[in-house]
Structure 1
Amino acid sequence: MSKRRKEGTSGPHVKLAKCDQTQLQLPAALQDEETTEKLREGWSQSLDVETSCVTLQGKPFRHCIIKNYLTEEFVAKLETDLSQLSFNTKSNDLYSFKQTNDLKTADSPSICAFASLLKEKMRNWLMEVTGIPLNDKVAITSSIYEHTDTLLCHDDELEERRIAFILYITPPSWTMADGGTLDLFSSSEGRLQPEKVVKSLLPTRSSLVFFEVTASSFHQVAEVLASDKRRLSMGGWFHGPPLARPAPSPEPKVPLKPWTDGYFDMVEDWVNPMYFDEEVLAQIQQDFEDDSEILLEDFLKEDKVQMVTTALQAKDLQWNPTGPFNKRHYEQIDSTSLSELVQQVTKMFQSEAMFLLLGRLTGLTLQSEEEGEEDSHGTPKCWGEVRRWRHGHYTLMHDEDPHNNDFCLDSMFYLNAQDWKSDYGGYVSYIAKGEDEELLTVVPKNNALALVYRDSDTLRFVKYINTTAMDRQMSGNQDSSFFEVYNAYYE
């Protein structure tokens, strides 16, 4: 467990030359009346339109790709001028990349010229093609995505954003193998939740992509896999009158279960004997009361750990992906495929014996969050699941999480996590609502039980697991995954 600093800057801060009055023109294809009419008709009916340099597609949501939007000579000027700006490091649950401040104050000739093109000619052309009323506000920034950087699934809906755009200034040699694609998600009808990536757009140099911002415009920037290239772009939003946003679809709360009676013999047989020592218990309880968190290493006996790890690695075990992608992406064990051993372990962590041990370790009085209801009678309750984490997995913070409004004890027991590094991601981050600074970080550690007591003002997420996790080599494990027995206990 550790603290992490999230924001920083990179690159020199250089005063640029005064902005000149360079006038850029739209590509010739966008000035052609016949092409513009085809695109206007295609947009209004969500049809696909293909010309020599413009591709308009209606699914999964309306988006357009314009090839060679600017000349190579001008793109090279942009690239040079952008290299002189300061880029702020941006890192949280949703993204990891570097970005400038809003470029409306930049005085580079090329940046000024591009901004003027967007605010005047391009804005008018967009209104003509899309029929979307746009005001004179255009937000523009520049972003750099380097090795392992990503921007996870989101819809861009905020305030008055109506059309999003991205101009790519990537190396000409950029390929799909380099990652960094703009991925578009299909969405479920009614609930407006992303289902799966159905289209991946290559960030081709000098191409400009724009799409309509709606409640279903779910997209992401896929992880950059190239280690010797950077994905440079300029992007932002055209603004206009805001659309009415549909009410979010509430997620059902996972039912809480009372403890499983007994399991005293199994807990005594499986848990490291040191955690029954009175002096050790007293010290752990004191440390937990001081910090509201603790990491208990070597929690289970080593032979038991090997047995469970082997059972979880069985090829006939079924793992189900979770979702939706704008909230989480990891794998949960299918209860119908559980071996008897894994079933017993999951029950042990939700047993009367474990509740009582956790109470002694933490000093908490674990009882039902529904205290006072006639059918609860003060019985302790919890919920939990067995998870598999590997490359590409994550969770995001979101206000609609039904479990964010309760005080609870998070219990995370890790298996197959030998030599896991925080640089891989996969760590749990705790953040106070409305704040950016992390309160606590929990890095997976093999055969360790992490206990964290969180209140209703604390949010948590699991950081995206990046491609460097694939470099981790372990005996008998080539997929670089680790397992977590997660449980939440309520007072």
Structure 2
Amino acid sequence: MKRKQQNGTAKAPAKKAKRKSVVIEPIHINPKYNEKKYRQEFRKGLDASNKPFPHWQLRNFVENSGNVVEKVEEELQNFEDWQRKENDLYSLYQSNDLKSIAPAKHPAIFSFRQFLYKEVKEWLQNVSGVELIDQVDCNGSCYARTDSLLPHNDLIDTRRFAFVYYLTSPNWDSELNGGDLQLFNHDGNLQPTTVATQFSPLRNSLMLFEVSQTSWHRVSEMISEEPRLSINGWFHSSRRLEPKKPTVESIARFVPENSCKLAKIVNKEYLKAKRQEEVQKTFSDSSELNLVQFLNQKLHDQVYDELLSTPSVFETVGPVSKRHVARLNEKNLSFPSTALVIEALKSKNFANLASKLTGVTVAGAQTSVKVSRIEHGSYWVLGDEDAEQNAADGYCLDVHVYVQKSGWPDESGGEMIYIEEGETEELLRISPSPNTMSIVFREPSVLSFLKYANCNSADPFFLFTVCFHNVQVAE
């Protein structure tokens, strides 16, 4: 019996929204990849002759008779769970693993996931002759302007084949958009060297390669607003390979012994005892600070002009899986102003000044000095070998002196970033600023890297870095 309203009229119960039935459309591999002739062709790709390592570009991989490609693309474009991912190695938007995708909400993506788990996995076993285990990892990725993925080899645990299925625009132009997949040659130490070949992210193509110690690859920087959309991941086997660690870059160390007058080099304000006391108090509260107008301005400008005018005094160092940055070769240095600053930074007078500004005892500490030219494409990333070196170096005092003509645009990369080992949240981000000295007291578990300088970057800047290793810490 219906309940009557106060005015005596009955109100009909609200109609329930009708639930639409879930339609899971089957997705299949293009029949040409199941032909016997193609299986033989695929096996040839596993040979060592497939340089730089076994890889395949499979055009028109999905049979698209029901426009399933467009349906998967549309669901990914409207996906609500994209997460921004940024660290020393990459910057992009990414989904969680698609194993938890709900078929009622995302039927096309769910169907594609099942397609990977079953049909593609079985096909890959047959054409490769490699027995795969049940584990398949897959997630959605979207690269926007300035996003990139730096060189790496994917060698983790039992990964055997990496795959990327592209859902990009039909007329993708790599010259306008960037975003190519680049495969690298390697040297005798199995470290990456130069780009051997590269592939545009073509719509409805599957890029596949075998994961190994030498499967070095990267996604080149995106230079347009056109999204680079894909579903990517790994097929696994029972095989395990140990990655080969690269060596840590060797920077000469010394104990400062030479004397140098700082009055003509450093802003006289920072040579005053009262100012030093104020700076030290600030530093003791935060273990980091920035000192503006640190160098004599005229000298600063002369150094900038000297270094900018002759790029040949810099040498690009690698391997590209670790860094791509130009370091000053002091053997070729003939610039008086630059030589004067380097001499000052290496002196016991500067070490004494660093102690007075921070309260950290650096007397007798092993010291290193390096000068870098930072510009579009510069970066260095972290690895286990860096953590091991940091542990051996103990507590350190890092001093970064920025020599640059103008401000560095926001969202350009090129920042010095400090993080705790094993953590993803940043502890500190230092943005480049003209004639500024940044000082950081670093614990053994804290690592630092230079964020990739992207296409928004302006004129180059020069970074003078002094590090005092294994400094004394008051109990």
What does residue 6 of structure 1 align with?
Answer: none
How far, CA to CA, are the matches of 1:18 and 1:284 in structure 2?
A: 68
- Residue 119 of structure 2: aligned partner: 121
Alignment of 1:401-416 (within 5 A): 401=386, 403-405=389-391, 406=393, 407-416=395-404
SS in 2 for 1:391: coil
**Displacement after TM superposition at 1:82 (Å):** 1.4
Question: Is the CA contact 2:155–2:241 (under 8 Å) kept in the aligned structure 1?
Answer: no
Cα separation, 1, equivalents of 2:136 and 2:440:
43
Residues 118-127 or 95-104, more deviating = 118-127
Structure 2 counterpart of 1:387? 372
Q: Are 1:254 and 2:251 matched, yes or no?
A: yes
2:199 partner letter: L
Moved more, 110-119 or 357-366: 110-119
TM-score normalized by structure 2? 0.89
Deviations 1:369-410 (A, max 9, x none): xxxxxxxxxx33311111100001111121202642221111
* Residue aligning to 1:78: 72
Give the one of 341, 348, 354 matched to 2:344.
Answer: 348
Alignment partner, residue 154 of structure 2: 156
Do the aligned partners of 1:19 and 1:112 also contact (CA within 8 Å) in 2?
no
Q: C-alpha distance in 1, partners of 2:404/2:137?
A: 45
Indicate the RMSD between aligned Cα atoms, in angstroms.
1.8
Task: Give the paired residue count.
Answer: 441
Shift of 1:333: 1.2
Equivalent residues in 2 for 1:410-449, closer than 5 Å: 410-449=398-437
Distance 1:343 1:90 in 2: 41
Q: Tell me the CA shift for residue 336 of structure 1.
A: 2.6
Equivalent position of 1:336 in the other structure: 331
In the other structure, the counterpart of 1:489 is 468
Give SS of 2:406's match: coil
For the 8 Å contact 2:313–2:328, the answer to whether it is kept is: yes
Give the Å deviation of 1:112. Answer: 2.5
Higher mean C-alpha displacement, 296-305 vs 71-80: 71-80
Relative to 1, partners in 2 of residues 1:483 and 1:123: Cα closer, same or farther, differing over 3 Å? same
C-alpha contact (below 8 Å) 2:47/2:54 kept by paired residues: no
How big is the shift at 1:432? 0.8
CA distance in 1, matches of 2:446, 2:385: 14
Q: Is the 8 A contact 1:18 1:109 kept in 2?
A: no
Deviation digits for residues 114-139 of structure 1, max 9, x if unmatched? 22222222212212222222012211
Task: Report what 2:57 is aligned to.
Answer: 65
What is the CA–CA distance in structure 1 between the aligned matches of 2:163 and 2:20, rounded to whole Å? 26
Q: Answer yes or no: is 1:315 the counterpart of 2:310.
A: yes
**SS, match of residue 275 in structure 1:** helix
Larger Rg: 2
1:187-214 alpha-carbon deviations (Å, 9 max, x no partner): 112x221112221110011111110111
Runs of 5+ in structure 2 lacking a partner? 1-18
**Contact 1:260–1:347 at 8 Å: present in 2 too?**
no
Instruction: Please tell me whether residue 278 in structure 1 is matched to residue 273 in structure 2.
Output: yes
Deviation at 1:258, TM superposition (A): 1.7
Residue pair 1:410, 1:487 contacting (<8 A) in 2 also = yes
Aligned pairs for 1:70-469 within 5 A: 70-71=62-63, 73-85=67-79, 86-106=81-101, 107=103, 108-177=106-175, 178-189=177-188, 191-227=189-225, 229-251=226-248, 253-264=250-261, 267-315=262-310, 317-341=312-336, 342-367=338-363, 379-401=364-386, 403-405=389-391, 406=393, 407-469=395-457
1:12 matched to which residue of 2?
none
Paired with 2:218 and 2:151, the residues of 1 have a C-alpha distance of 5
